[in-house]
């Protein structure tokens, strides 16, 4: 069987010269690659008794977090871009490379004291997941683990999340 890294297609000079884009769609488009990705994320998540709920960030966090929640019979909570959720929400603004963005979650999606695992496809600078963690904590949740499929270690997102248990399946040394 192939290693998971072999399913990730690396695209040089995208979106600009000098950047190597790590394309997760090549993992999703291969049944073996997708199966392996979910299995490896589940290994990083660990003991199902150590948490109560899985949170995924829009949109690829949904793709990878949902099967984990399903397999472990846990609820799944979506963190979405601002304006996409129909009920009362809490929101958080965070910095992007060129500006800001906002994410939200339903105000009743996390109960005080719930232990939470956050799953996303990629950690780069860590800004999106840091904002999601702040929303979870605002609602009284406790983030017990954060799991990524891929990590761009050169962008130091792990340092931004240094107070949390962060795991990644694949680590790329650069950005």
Q: Give catalytic residue positions.
A: 60, 97
| Phi and psi at residue 109, to the nearest 5° | -80, -25
Buried b (16+ CB within 10 A) or exposed e, 66-104: bbbbeeeebebbbbbeeeebeeebbbbebeeeeeeeebb
24 close to 121: Cβ distance less than 8 angstroms: yes
The C-alpha atoms of residue 53 and residue 33 are separated, in whole angstroms, by 25
């Amino acid at each position: 069987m192939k290693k998971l890294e072999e399913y990730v297609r690396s695209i040089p000079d995208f979106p600009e010269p000098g950047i190597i884009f790590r394309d997760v769609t090549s993992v999703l488009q291969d049944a073996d690659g997708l199966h392996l990705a979910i299995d490896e994320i589940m290994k990083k998540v660990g003991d199902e008794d150590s948490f109560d709920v899985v949170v995924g960030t829009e949109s690829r966090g949904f793709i990878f977090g949902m099967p984990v929640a399903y397999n472990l019979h846990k609820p799944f909570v979506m963190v979405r871009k601002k304006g996409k959720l129909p009920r009362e929400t809490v929101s958080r603004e965070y910095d992007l490379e060129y500006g800001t963005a906002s994410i939200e979650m339903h105000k009743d999606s996390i109960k005080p004291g719930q232990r939470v695992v956050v799953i996303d496809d990629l950690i780069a600078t860590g800004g999106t997941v840091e904002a999601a963690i702040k929303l979870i904590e605002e609602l009284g949740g406790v983030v017990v683990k954060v799991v990524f499929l891929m990590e761009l270690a050169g962008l130091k997102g792990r340092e931004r999340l240094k107070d949390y248990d962060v795991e990644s399946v694949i680590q790329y040394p650069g950005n």
